[in-house]
Structure 1
Amino acid sequence: MRTGTSHNNNHSYGLRLGSDITFDTVHSLTISAEARANNGTNQDPWMNTFTSNDGQAPYYSSMDQTSGGPNNSLGFTGTYTMHVGPKEHDLVANVYFYPDNYDITNTLVTTPTNASGEVAGQSTGRRSQTVGIGSYFEALADYTWPITPTMKLGTGVDATLQFIDSEFNFSELDAVNNVFVPAPVLSNAAKHYDDVYAAYVDASEQFGDLNVRAGLRGEHTRNQFESRDTPAQNFDRSFGNLFPSMSASYAFSQEQSVQFSYARRINRPTGPQLNPYVDVTDSLYWRAGNPALMPEYINSVQLGILQYIDASVVNVEAFYRLTENMINLRFREEVKPGVLLERPYNFGQGIAYGMSGSANLSLAPWLSINSELSYYYQEAGGTFKGQTYESTGYGWNARVIANATLPLDIKSQIFFDYTAPQVIPQGQRMQFSMLSLSMNREFKEQHLTIGLNWMDVFNSAQFGGSVSGPGFSTDLLNRRDYPLVSLNLSYRINDYKGPRPRQSPGVGGGGNTI
């Protein structure tokens, strides 16, 4: 139960520059760079009541948690295009580079109380700090070759290099002197390297109204992990993968077509999932990542019909997805009586199949609606540490985005999202729903944009679920006690509309730490 006002103080500053350069009819270059400095702190007070099944009296406490810190990042994107032959013979090379740094601190102070909230004992406190640097570098080149007027061949290479160097410092509160004392036994440091080298080839052919496409991508991955204080965790491993894909579409008319596709893809663990540090800031609920986490693999098949209606489009499809070596993001286990550890692991598989539909409707020059609806069967489970876990159930998702241009050229959007309960090996995640509104007005001559955002209008967004394992069961619920309203102001130096540096995947960001 929240007992006071939550304080959130966040600010961000950014600068973006870009340029398009055309050397001649053959060579062109697009470059852009972005720098961003973020800093924020969040403070949440609340009351806890602990009860047990053995008839003991309830235990009460007040808790005050403060978290946040600086996170600074850079981004650079370069795209070089060379027209190497006749029309559509293009060689395109891209380079991306993202360095960042972060210093994130989480402090939790707990004070025993009675049922009325009066102090009944001495406070205890724990503080964790994660400091580090990260970098993401990617270079890729693609070549397109139209062999015939109806057949096209594409090929390319891609190299991605990621590095994260972080340090985890833990300290405990000395209530007598009101200072936090370092706890070296709970502190550590680590380095993580993740390099991926890939090559691909794909071909497409048009047979009248039938279009067929097939491709193959090969990847070689090297992971290396070095822990400062726990060398038993260190590893240096390499593995390779092949990812085939194929698709076919047949056009009954210009307005209607049927489409089929199969693809195998990889989902690599992100920085927070690989975090090796065990955060025991909450004495009853520990959290950690897993540096040895492997990717999961998704095989998907889809069959659908696409229909154009004037300026609108409707798509209905059936799908089947099989996830192998599944990443179970929040596996819980009891590590000591009354203490749970949350950590991701690879085990088991997930299956989902069902129907989905989407519609992009242009209802008026000033109004458009994009909507999605899915209904599916899902199951997830496997055997881990001698215990078998399995959950099944039906679910559905819905999303609606309405965009409208109001008088005075005000751009507005209504966003609604709903996800039914989702099964996980240890139980299920609870449903999620949220309605948000936004409006913005652009003053082109002044290079100025003013925006108003109202997130989670009805305060319905919540996260949690029910999980169980050997010796424990728990229900979790996290939600805000208030909606979020923000006023945004952005100023452009000029009207450059070139591409933004794309978001760095899984590096830094405070939470994305190894």
Structure 2
Amino acid sequence: MKRFLLSILFIGMFFNVNAQFPGGLGGAAKKPAVFGRISAVILDSLTKKPVDYATVSLIKVKDNKPVNGSVTDPSGKTTIQNVAPDEYKLRVGFIGYVTKTVLVTTTPAKPDNNLGTIYLSPNENTLADVQVEGTKAVIENKIDRMVYNAEADGTNAGGDATDVMRKVPMLSVDIDGNVQLRGGAVRVLINGKPSGTMASSVADALKMIPAEQIKSVEVITSPSAKYDAEGSGGIINIITKKSDAQGVSGTVNASAGTRQNNGAFNLTAKTGRLSLNTALGTNLAYAQKSRVAFENITYLNDGSVSSVLQDGYSKWSRNGYNGSFGLDYDFNAYNNISSSVKYNNFSNGGPGVSNYLRNGESFTNKSDMDMGFNNLDWNVDYKKTSKREGEEFTVSAQLSTSRNPTSFSNEFIPAGETSGPVIPTNNTGVNHEYTAQTDYVYPFSKATILEVGAKGIFRNLNSQFDDSEQDFEYNQNVAAAYGVISFKLSKKLNFKGGLRSEYTRIDFNTQTNGLQKNDYLNLFPSAIISQTLKGNATLKLSYNRRVQRPSYVFLNPFLNDSDPFNLRQGQPNLKPELSDNLELGYSTYIKGSVINASVFYRRTADVIEGSVSSFTDENGATKTLSSYLNVGTAQTYGANVFASYNPKPKWTLMTNLGVNTYEVSNSETGLSTGTFLNYNIFGRSAYGFGKGYNFELFGVVNSPRRTYQGKTDAMIFYGASFKKEILNKKGSIGINTLNPFTRDLHIKTVNNAVNGLGTLYQSTNIYYPLRSFGINFSYSFGKLKFTEKKKIKNDDIKQDQQQQGGGMGGLQQ
């Protein structure tokens, strides 16, 4: 352990040296303060869309010699750093476009020059193929990730992040909002960093984010060692709408519908080297009845039967709001500091009524639930670059604190009575998390790049109850260090590999076992080889090892008896999941069409799953307990195919098919589930009629899902939208619908378990009100230029993917 901590200290000292001597390994001299930068945004002159990967060259006027260059990013933006004061020609070119040259001058008094928007004109041979009026590409394929551009999909308006996730290729989302990536657990980031809103329940957190605030969703199946090792299936990164422009720019979105109402506002003001941004969002879901029919039968070993039948509804409303403020300041061309604060507040709950029949005895339970959540994230980031293009040193710090109060009550009314005793319960969860991180990137050349870094995460989780004897405190500290190297094996063959080391120390207290401690050290290698083929095709082979640590909800031993016959409890002694992932992928572009295919294998040890069991309470009554277990080892084989095709210039067809096996075995317990096949199908059709009119249809089919104890039925979602651009294409107004022909989505889950009491059969039927109709409005003002800032990424905690609560089985709208 001492050697490990010393190694991290050594790396930190190494970073400090490079910060003081910006030349780093190359020993470059200190840069003059007058060096500046030249920036611009490159757009297609007809479609006004960004030109991605356009080549930009900076040439001195006096000798006509090139001095620097770059390529544009997906938003069309380009920035050339370390520019000495002089007169230059900026030359921009791309296949299919006429090369354009712009004169630009920088001076010691004004070393930076923002050229604004530069338009490239398609050449004559390309004009016939240009889609002047149509729809923006919704899916982009990159070497290490697939990007779903949510802002280009009109069917998202009026929904929340859960609705968006249902349409992202390779993801599957169940009725409660639990997200899986190709059958494996995922880590969800927001703008490349963790958020306290995800700490207790991903499903709840996704419902807090209006769809109108989401720009895109990145699906990363092969993260490098630079990322935290969390997420056996991979990483999902939600990018929210931002802007970075001289002057003032922003967006306004509003939607109203039969299921929920959303509002979102984003504003950025930038002058010189200072940029300020703020965002506000709100959502309000109407209270709608969700019906739950529950059957719980235990066949006891003595030949008797204990049964509980339940039928009723919950009528929960949901509302929330969030706000953020950030600033970004460039001291000069090489030093930048940024800071942001984000606050989320979310609450849901409401009354419910259930009729019970227990071993022939009938009664009614009137329940009421109030669940709240508020979270504050504060980030501070410093970045230092150098004259050497690509060299970068960063130091980041993050504070995240959240509070999660929950209160519920049950009133049990015997048959023939009008009232009964009311039993209240209150619980407050508090989470504090502190993170410090430093990273250094050194390019030996354009093709050979070294990345190293170190990180520390300090967590304190505390759960407080009415009965102080059941209070639960959990501390987790993680120290990590990594190194990544990327280089070319040949002209068309690239390699990127690395190793991450993570040391974890845990201590927690329980009423029965007192203080317990545990620590472990894990190594996480990763490697990816990519081959460029003819015809813009790419073949890649990747391997990585991942971990999935249980979080607070999995570990909390408090007995939640909001439903008196179906109790919930965490398991403090859960082990982390460890998985090894191997993937072979292929992608190609054929005359505007996109095909991406992959096959993968994943082996996961100590798989964590929910479990149900029967037990007898102090009064001799038979009840069920829902908890979590390390059930065994899973072997998963799978494949994914994504395709996009344009039958006509204004018509886009898109589909994604994912399949994977499910199999869990445990040699100690003799458990073997056998092999089952899961699948996910997504389809989309978008058509642009011209003059700003667009129409879209989509559908999603999730196959039945297996666990080691049971099965959940298949789910189908479908919807449509119609949108019209207005206000000189700066605004739009539209209508949309989700599952218009069926009010409720019927989901049936069956579990079977054998324990010391006997055999348990449990069946749950949920009727969830999903049908909705809505109208939405969007408006953008100013010049929008998106940029990404380096942020802390805590990717190491397995988040709850079960709705927590009582009453009607914990179902939330």
TM-score band by shorter chain is 0.7 to 0.9
Q: How far 1:64 moved relative to its partner?
A: 2.7
Match of 2:754 in 1: 469
Deviation of the 1:110 alpha carbon: 3.3
Rounded to whole Å, the distance in 2 between the matches of 1:144 and 1:80 is: 14
- In structure 2, C-alpha distance between the alignment counterparts of 1:369 and 1:292, rounded to whole Å: 48
Any conservation in 1 of the 2:543–2:582 contact (CA below 8 Å)?
A: yes
Aligned with 1:36 (options 341, 344, 347): 344
Higher deviation after alignment, 373-382 or 454-463: 454-463
Match of 1:320 in 2: 601
The answer to whether the 8 Å contact 2:664/2:671 transfers is no
Question: Is 1:46 aligned with 2:46?
Answer: no
Give per-residue Cα distances to partners, 1:50-79, cap 9 Å, x unaligned.
Answer: 56xxxxxx4433333322233211122333
One-letter amino acid of the structure 1 residue matched with residue 628 of structure 2:
P
Q: For 2:675, what is the secondary structure of its paired residue?
A: strand
8 Å Cα contact 2:550/2:799 also seen in 1: no
Is 1:334 equivalent to 2:619 in the alignment?
no
Once the two structures are superposed, the pairs formed by residues 9-408 of structure 1 within 5 Å of their partners are: 9-50=317-358, 58-113=360-415, 119=416, 123-169=420-466, 184=467, 188-206=470-488, 207-227=490-510, 230=511, 232-328=513-609, 330-336=610-616, 338-361=622-645, 370-382=654-666, 388-400=671-683
In the alignment, residue 69 of structure 1 is paired with which amino acid? M
Contact in 1 for aligned 2:710/2:749 (Cα 8 Å): no
Q: Which amino acid aligns with 1:164?
A: L
- Once residues 482 and 108 of structure 1 are traced to their aligned partners in structure 2, the CA distance between those partners, rounded to angstroms, is 24
Q: Cα deviations across residues 265-303 of structure 1 (Å, max 9, x unaligned)? A: 111213321222111222221111112222101111111
Post-superposition Cα deviations, 1:30-54, rounded to whole Å, max 9, x if no partner, equal 3222222222223222333456xxx
Q: Distance in 2 between matches of 1:111 and 1:378?
A: 43
Which of 697, 714, 719 does residue 431 from structure 1 map onto? 714
| Aligned partners of 1:79 and 1:94 also within 8 Å | yes
Pair 469,21 (structure 1): closer, same or farther in 2 beyond 3 Å: same
Q: Which has the greater radius of gyration?
A: 2
CA shift digits 1:482-510 (9 cap, x unpaired)? 22647789999998867699998779999
Question: Which stretch of the first structure deviates more once superposed, 473-482 or 406-415?
Answer: 406-415
Higher helix share: 2
Q: How far apart, CA to CA, are the structure 2 residues paired with 1:8 and 1:346?
A: 33
Unpaired runs of 5+ in structure 1? 52-57, 114-118, 170-183
Supply the distance in 2 between the matched residues of 1:261 and 1:430 (Cα, whole angstroms): 33
Q: Is the Cα contact below 8 Å between 1:450 and 1:490 reproduced in 2?
A: yes
Higher mean C-alpha displacement, 27-36 vs 300-309: 27-36
> How many angstroms apart in 2 are the aligned matches of 1:444 and 1:290?
56
Report the secondary structure of 2:394's partner residue: strand
CA distance in 2, matches of 1:391, 1:349: 12
Instruction: Please state whether the residue corresponding to 2:383 is helix, strand or coil.
Output: strand
Query: Which secondary structure state, in structure 2, belongs to the residue aligned with residue 460 of structure 1?
Result: strand
Tell whether the 8 Å contact from 2:397 to 2:435 is kept in structure 1 after alignment.
yes
Quick check: 2:692–2:726 contact (8 Å CA) kept in 1? no
Aligned-pair CA distance for 1:451: 8.4
Which runs of 5 or more residues in structure 2 are unaligned?
Answer: 1-290, 293-310, 806-813
Letter of the 1:293 counterpart: L
Q: CA deviation at 1:146?
A: 1.6
1:218, 1:243 within 8 Å by CA — same for their partners in 2? yes
Q: Distance in 2 between matches of 1:425 and 1:205?
A: 43
**Cα shift at 1:387:** 6.2
Q: Distance in 2 between matches of 1:487 and 1:127?
A: 40
Partner SS for 1:343: strand
Q: Name the SS of the counterpart of 1:137 in structure 2.
A: strand
1:327 Cα deviation after fit: 0.8
Hey, what's the Cα distance between the residues in 2 that align with 1:251 and 1:39?
A: 50
CA RMSD of superposed structures (Å):
3.8
Q: Which amino acid aligns with 1:205?
A: F
TM-score (norm 2): 0.53
Aligned mates of 2:724, 2:477 — CA distance in 1: 43
SS at match of 1:272: helix
Which of the pair has the greater relative contact order for Cα pairs under 8 Å at 6+ separation?
Answer: 2
Percentage of matched positions with identical amino acids: 19
CA gap 1:509/1:423 in 2 versus in 1, 3 angstroms:
closer
Q: Is the 8 A contact 2:495 2:528 kept in 1?
A: yes
8 Å Cα contact 1:164/1:507 also seen in 2: no
Distance 1:506 1:442 in 2: 42
Post-superposition offset of 1:18:
1.8
Question: Matches of 1:130 and 1:503 in 2, distance apart?
Answer: 29
Deviation of 1:334 after TM superposition, in Å, equals: 1.6
The amino acid that maps onto 2:769 is Y
Q: Contact conserved, 2:453 with 2:481, CA < 8 A, in 1?
A: yes
Closer, same or farther: CA 350–5 of 1 in aligned 2, 3 Å: closer
Q: Distance in 1 between matches of 2:799 and 2:632?
A: 27
TM-superposed deviation, 1:244: 0.8
Q: What letter matches 2:762 in structure 1?
A: D
Match for 2:622: what amino acid? G
Taking structure 1 as the reference length, the TM-score comes to: 0.81
Paired with 2:341 and 2:394, the residues of 1 have a C-alpha distance of 19
Q: 3-state DSSP class of the match of 1:348?
A: strand
Question: Aligned partners of 2:396 and 2:653: how far apart in 1?
Answer: 34
More strand by proportion, 1 or 2? 1
Q: Do 1:271 and 1:512's aligned partners in 2 also have CA atoms closer than 8 Å?
A: no
Give a deviation string over 1:440-466, Cα, whole Å, max 9, x none: 899999x99988775555332526233
* Larger CA deviation: 307-316 vs 286-295: 307-316
| Separation of aligned partners in 2, 1:254 and 1:279 | 59
Q: Distance in 1 between matches of 2:724 and 2:353?
A: 37
Distance in 2 between residues matched to 1:510 and 1:129, nearest whole Å: 20
